[in-house]
Amino acid sequence: MNTDFLWVEEYRPGKIDDCILPSSLKTLFSSFIKKGELSNLLLSGTPGIGKTTVAKALCEEMNCDWLMINGSEEGGIDVLRNKIKNWHTERCSHKGDLSTRHLVFMTYLNDVTDKGETEFMHQKMAVQPRKGLTVIWPADWTHTHRGVPSPSQDKYIATGWYNLKGKLGS
């Protein structure tokens, strides 16, 4: 029997409809889910009012990945530099110029043996740079990634994108 859970996590509401919220907020959050789009959102307030519960429920219902940062414990510029900023995706919207990117390719131009990997967040994998190795992946948020710097070696890459413009079937 696994007893490694917090009571609050076991009984936390998993959907916006199950959260105890003012009707105006429930309507607003439900509209995000219905549209399938979530703009930037800042939830603030005192401990225990449901900020984390609402955020987790939104992410769960919209099938989003999320990154939990506890501002009380993980403040400072190092969190921004190392935990948030370095992760990116080539296409994060269905609008604008980036929406035509469908595949990303990257070819390593040299070997790097002291770190230097390309990490993929959701796949929980890292690719070690080897000269001539080409990696191809979807350009969407499903393949959020980052380059890990090597403390002792330079890494050289050639990278690009496969773009699809216009409507399919036209």
For residues 58 and 32, the answer to whether their CB atoms sit within 8 Å is yes
- Same domain? For 106 and 52 the reply is no
Last residue in a domain, options 51, 66, 81:
66
pLDDT at residue number 65: 66
pLDDT at residue number 82: 64
CATH of the domain at 22: 3.40.50.300
Residue 92 lies in a domain: no
Q: Which domain holds residue 44?
A: 7-66
- DSSP 8-state class, residue 19: S
Give phi and psi for 88, each to the nearest 5: -155, 170
- Same domain? For 102 and 48 the reply is no
pLDDT at residue number 144: 86
Question: What is the Cα–Cα distance from 54 to 58, expressed in whole angstroms?
Answer: 6
pLDDT at residue number 1: 46
pLDDT at residue number 52: 87
CATH of the domain at 127: 2.60.120.620
Which residue stretches of the chain have pLDDT < 70?
1-5, 39-40, 65, 70-72, 74-85, 91-99, 166-170
- Same domain? For 106 and 159 the reply is yes
pLDDT at residue number 96: 52
